[in-house]
Amino acid sequence: MSAREVAVLLSWLSCCGLAVWRYHSNSRDYQIFSTRSIIKLEYEGTLFTEWSVPETCTVLDKRLPVTELRCSSPGIHAVKPIVMGPDEEERYLFVATSHICFLWYYRVRHFFNNLTQAIIVWAYDPENADSDELLGSAEEPSINSEVLSTQMATVGQKPTVYTILKRKVYLSNEKMKRGTWNIVVPMTKDDALKEIRGNQVIFQDCFVADFLILLTFPILTIPEIPGYLPISSPRGSQLIAFRDSCVFACVVLVTDRETFQTNDSFRTWTRVRVPPDVLSDDERQNVTDVTLSRDGIIFHINGVLYLKSFRGFIKMGRIVNLPDDGIAGISSRKWCWVKYLFKAKGRRSNLAVWTKNEIFLGYILLKFARLVTTTELKNILNLPVTATLTIHSVQYTGHPLEIAVLLNYCIMCTITKKIFLVIYNEDTKQWISQDFTLDAPVDSVFVPHFIFSALPGLILWNKHSIYYYYNNFTFTGILQTPAGHGNLSMLSNGSIIHEVLIDYYGNILVKMENNEIFYSKINIGDAVKLHLWTSNTTKAFIFLNTSGHTYFLYAFDNGVIQTQDYPVGLEAKSIAFKTKDKCPYVAFHNNIAHVFYFLDKGEALTVWTQIVYPENNGLYVIMESYGPKILEVRHNISFEVAFGYCTKTLLLTFYQKINYEGTDDYFGMQDNNTGLVMIQVRPSEYSKACSVPQKVFQIAVGCDDKKFIAVKGFSKKGCHRHDYSYVIEKSYLRHPLSKNLKVRYNWEEYGCPLRLEFTEKFHPLVQLFDDNGYVKDVEANFIVWEIHGRADYSFNNTMAQSGCLHTAQTWKSMIKLNKHLPLEEVWGPEFL
């Protein structure tokens, strides 16, 4: 943020409300916060006197409310402003010592003619960069960055792009131009998470930090059309927002004056407006929820859904198989699972819409289908016909194929009700009632959010408290505060809960309407209040950027949008130091490189996870699974003690011991022993001070539809395609014709013919491939047949010479046994 933008932001934030102070660094997302960093201190308020800092740190001018801090020694430094009146809160800044001084900067150019993206990369020093680079708006390197990148290249530096999911590597094949490297990658939606990594070369005793980015197909924002009118939430209401679960940079924000859309985390944005003749003024200013889908932006207004897309603005109802009114809510997936195993025929939904008595699932291209009614659910759950059952909420869980339904249940329905939870699996089509019951006032409303975990788990909140249900509903309660109760409003001057953010690392941020923030982690039963970061009167929302870091978005009454990085990690460390909260272990490692594994017949998967902790703490690693019981697991534990620390390693091997030979129902056995199993490994104990509480991944047991086989030596490139045909003598055919058979060679299907010497014997080597390339040679037996019906075969060996103990199957015998099947299927249920 430039000095001018900081001044503007401070003037807005300090107009009223409580005094607040904060800090910034020049590095993006506070990635470098070390003895080399300039730390910018900001105080907003009218009672400032001077800054109080340790002797090991120096302040440019301690009497200015906006100044710069440098700390020459690493460690924990207590910093606070001295003011006239009550003391301001003290922060404990964790200043590191690090040889990482430089960062990668990148820009992307899209080429739709060949579906590629060019990533232009250069290195920059955040302490010597220009303002455009610090703001992320630079199109080319500054002079300092160009010189730095060029000098680093002379000592062997060259960035590489690694993809996290598919483990692919992309290098720069061009010469450096004006201090930049050019790396070309294919456009993709299933391998979007990438990391820019440099060679481990040092320059001026410094390295370049690796940088995580999210890069997918370009997603366009809907352009604003002149003459269209604003669409907004009710005047004076809090911000409403929706973030895409797979592309964090894509956000829709609804304020009480306008609606905004961005595809780059609000570096740029467009206003979303609607035609003047569709909605009344009251309807345009009464948005209560918003969702972003592939088909456009969906607004929830007065029980009706409206779609804003590139093609226009329509009312969703009967035309998309939804009710015209009475819509109670809409939800979409909260967690991004790019890959999963879907056994059943059909598609996985991406939207859930519900009324009081019906649930509808939505698919791409605005296809909706009714899933269930409350009358049907009464029969499924064996509930009394006379009971009142309504739908409270429908939410997608952390499982890629499951949907959770919260149900209101009561008999008299005058004072209290019970809330039940059932989970529906889109693959198995089964409804499973969960061990969950919540007694609540009949008019109470709760908002659920499932966490990222293998076992079902969620948090649930009303205006004042957070209810947690972890580890398949075995660890439950109300999130407690240091004050000894779970009412967050009592610690926030009566403010109510506005937003709850949960990330993939298990961090939970609870933002109140007055911008007070409480912090917890999954599987932890308490929360702490973080330092106040922004004014209590500013309308704000917390988002995740493309690197998975948090930032604040501020929306002001004049339509101005401002963003500001928010260092959750540093703020949590400060409170942990103050409350003496420590992580019970030193390190938690594993070699689980993917979030999705395929386990085919006869294969095994071995992974390890390791925990290091102080001696006598007695920690261990817990492995938990969720899904069909189709896997065997072998555990192997090793233990080591050295220098007062214990290292415990858990080796896990997942496999099946199913014998498919001789079964009378091959397909039935295969179906019963395939499916999706969710696995998580976690320490037996952890706290809010721990960085990574657990690792979650899937094992899909079955056949990978991305795998295919090919005969070694054949290629579809490198040969001249021409009109090639040959003739089969009619007497050589299994079913003779009246004339010879002319066969035209199919170049598109078979590729280039393999050249062999006339006397050379040909034995095909079958190889297995997937979407990442070659996997292995296929060692299983296979058959070869001539597809045009030739019968003039001869064999090199007899059955006895080949070691057969019994008479082998022949084409003639197999055709006789399977007269109803085509030729390619007569040998059995699976063939190559």
pLDDT single digits (tens) 332-362: 999 999 888 888 777 899 999 999 999 999 9
CA angle 108, 114, 116 (to 5 degrees): 25
CATH number, domain containing residue 145 = 2.60.40
Least-confidence region, from 409-413, 610-614, 624-628, 804-808: 804-808
Where is pLDDT greater, at 753 or 499? 499
- Which of 316, 346, 367 finishes a domain? 316
Where is pLDDT greater, at 113 or 796? 113
Least-confidence region, from 112-121, 526-535, 719-728: 719-728
This model's pTM is above 0.75:
yes
Tell me the average pLDDT across 181-190: 93
DSSP helix/strand/coil, 746? coil
Same domain for 598 and 691: yes
For residues 306 and 313, the answer to whether their CB atoms sit within 8 Å is: yes
Does the pLDDT of residue 366 top 80, yes or no?
yes
What is the sign of the dihedral through the CA atoms of 717, 719, 722 and 727? negative
Does the pLDDT of residue 168 top 80, yes or no?
yes
For residues 426 and 451, the answer to whether their CB atoms sit within 8 Å is: no
Instruction: At 715, list the tokens.
Output: 């290629």
For 659-685, letters b (16+ CB in 10 Å) and e give eeeeeeeeeeebeebbbbbbbbbbbeb
Q: 425-430: long-range contacts (C-beta < 8 A, 24 or more apart)?
A: 425/399, 425/401, 426/342, 426/344, 426/346, 426/348, 426/349, 426/361, 426/401, 426/402, 427/341, 427/342, 427/343, 427/344, 427/401, 427/675, 427/676, 428/344, 429/344
pLDDT at residue 828 in the model: 58
Query: Per the structure, how many domains does the chain have?
Result: 5
DSSP helix/strand/coil, 709? strand
pLDDT at residue 20 in the model: 93
Confidence at 13, pLDDT banded by 50, 70, 90: very low
Q: Is residue 830 part of a domain?
A: yes
Q: Is residue 153 part of a domain?
A: yes
Same domain for 241 and 191: no
Does the pLDDT of residue 661 top 80, yes or no?
no
pLDDT in tens, 591-602: 998 899 999 888
Least-confidence region, from 8-12, 300-304, 768-772: 8-12
For residues 575 and 519, the answer to whether their CB atoms sit within 8 Å is: yes
Confidence at 299, pLDDT banded by 50, 70, 90: very high
- Which of 701, 734, 754 finishes a domain? 701
Same domain for 265 and 177: no
Instruction: At 49, list the tokens.
Output: 């006197």
Phi and psi, residue 668, nearest 5°: -65, -45
Pairing of strands 695-701, 596-599: parallel
Mean confidence (pLDDT) of the chain: 90
Q: Is residue 155 part of a domain?
A: yes
pLDDT in tens, 431-490: 999 999 999 999 999 999 999 999 999 999 999 999 999 999 999 999 999 988 999 999
Same domain for 225 and 195: no
In terms of phi and psi (left: phi > 0; alpha: psi -120 to 50; beta: otherwise), the region of 30 is: left
Considering 76-85, 724-733, 741-750, the range whose residues carry the highest mean pLDDT is 76-85
Q: Is residue 537 part of a domain?
A: no
Same domain for 119 and 52: no
Instruction: At 147, list the tokens.
Output: 């010189």
Same domain for 205 and 241: no
Same domain for 139 and 89: no
What is the sign of the dihedral through the CA atoms of 524, 525, 526 and 530? positive
Confidence at 758, pLDDT banded by 50, 70, 90: confident
pLDDT at residue 805 in the model: 76
CATH number, domain containing residue 689 = 2.60.40.2020
Tell me the average pLDDT across 153-164: 94
DSSP helix/strand/coil, 697? strand
- Which of 645, 669, 701 finishes a domain? 701
| Count of helices and strands (H, E) across the chain | 9, 57
Q: In which residue are the tokens 């006197």 written?
A: 49
The secondary element (H helix, E strand) that includes residue 8 is: helix 3-13
SS3 sequence of 15-52: CCCCCEEEEEECCHHHCCCECCCCEEEEEECCCEEEEE
Q: In which residue are the tokens 């390619």 written?
A: 824
pLDDT at residue 677 in the model: 96
Where is pLDDT greater, at 804 or 603? 603
* 341: exposed, middle or buried (Cβ count in 10 Å: 0-12, 13-18, 19+): buried
pLDDT at residue 150 in the model: 95
Tell me the average pLDDT across 131-142: 93
The secondary element (H helix, E strand) that includes residue 3 is: helix 3-13
pLDDT at residue 6 in the model: 46
| % pLDDT > 90, the chain | 71
Least-confidence region, from 25-39, 633-647, 787-801: 787-801
pLDDT at residue 829 in the model: 52
Q: Is residue 13 part of a domain?
A: yes
Contacts of 813 (CB under 8 A, 6+ apart): none
Compute how many other C-beta atoms are within 10 angstroms of the C-beta atom of residue 455.
Answer: 18
Same domain for 145 and 72: no
Same domain for 64 and 109: no
Considering 48-52, 702-706, 764-768, the range whose residues carry the highest mean pLDDT is 48-52
Same domain for 156 and 85: no
For residues 252 and 292, the answer to whether their CB atoms sit within 8 Å is: yes
Where is pLDDT greater, at 3 or 316? 316
Q: Is residue 29 part of a domain?
A: yes
Q: Is residue 122 part of a domain?
A: yes
Q: Is residue 189 part of a domain?
A: yes
Name which of 128, 71, 59, 79 is nearest 95 in CA terms: 71
pLDDT in tens, 243-272: 999 999 999 999 999 999 999 999 999 999
Instruction: At 80, list the tokens.
Output: 């606070």
Tell me the average pLDDT across 675-683: 95
Confidence at 155, pLDDT banded by 50, 70, 90: very high
For residue 164, the one-letter residue type is I
Same domain for 228 and 209: no
For residues 41 and 10, the answer to whether their CB atoms sit within 8 Å is: no
Does the pLDDT of residue 736 top 80, yes or no?
no
Same domain for 146 and 167: yes
* 134: exposed, middle or buried (Cβ count in 10 Å: 0-12, 13-18, 19+): middle
Does the pLDDT of residue 9 top 60, yes or no?
no
Does the pLDDT of residue 723 top 50, yes or no?
yes
Task: Count the alpha carbons within 13 Å of 22 in the hemisphere toward its beta carbon.
Answer: 23
CA angle 293, 254, 556 (to 5 degrees): 145
Where is pLDDT greater, at 508 or 782? 508
Compute how many other C-beta atoms are within 10 angstroms of the C-beta atom of residue 618.
Answer: 11
Confidence at 18, pLDDT banded by 50, 70, 90: low
How many Å apart are CA 283 and CA 280, to the nearest integer?
5
What residue numbers bound the domain in which 305 lies? Answer: 221-316
